[in-house]
Amino acid sequence: MQNLALRQNSNRDGSWFGLSDPRERTRATLETARVQGQVRGRRPKLSPRQQAELVRGVQEERCSMSEAARLFQVHPATVSRLMAQQLRR
């Protein structure tokens, strides 16, 4: 009985409501982008140079973490995260 229900709900190519084909296409597209060097995700608000300047400014006590956040127009959590990354290095 269960096999009959599965056969009725699946396409001729064996995909379940056509879900496997879009998943395969998405997976292939993402792999192609990765091979071509295209990065997924959001771009960083600060360049590596700006990040280094922000960390240096806080470490040398030229400004507090909250002042650095205002100066570089980022959230204070961004400054905190950059400082934590610097400590791990």
Q: For the chain, what is the mean pLDDT?
A: 82
**Is 76 among the domain residues?**
yes
**Is 41 among the domain residues?**
no
Instruction: Say if residue 55 is in the same domain as residue 30.
Output: no
* Model confidence pLDDT, tens digit, residues 51-84: 999 999 999 999 999 999 999 999 999 999 999 9
> Sorting pLDDT into bands at 50, 70 and 90, what band is 38?
confident
CA distances to 4, 12, 25, 31, 65 from 19, rounded to whole Å, are: 19, 13, 10, 19, 48
Q: Is the pLDDT of residue 2 over 80?
A: no
What does pTM read for this prediction?
Answer: 0.58
56-59 contacts, C-beta under 8 A, 24 or more apart = 58/83, 59/86
Number of domains in the chain: 2
Please give the structure tokens belonging to residue 1: 């009985």
Task: Give the three-state DSSP class for 65.
Answer: helix
**Is 25 among the domain residues?**
yes
Q: Given the structure tokens 């998405």, which residue do they identify?
A: 26
Which residue range forms the structural domain that includes residue 17?
A: 2-35
**Is 67 among the domain residues?**
yes
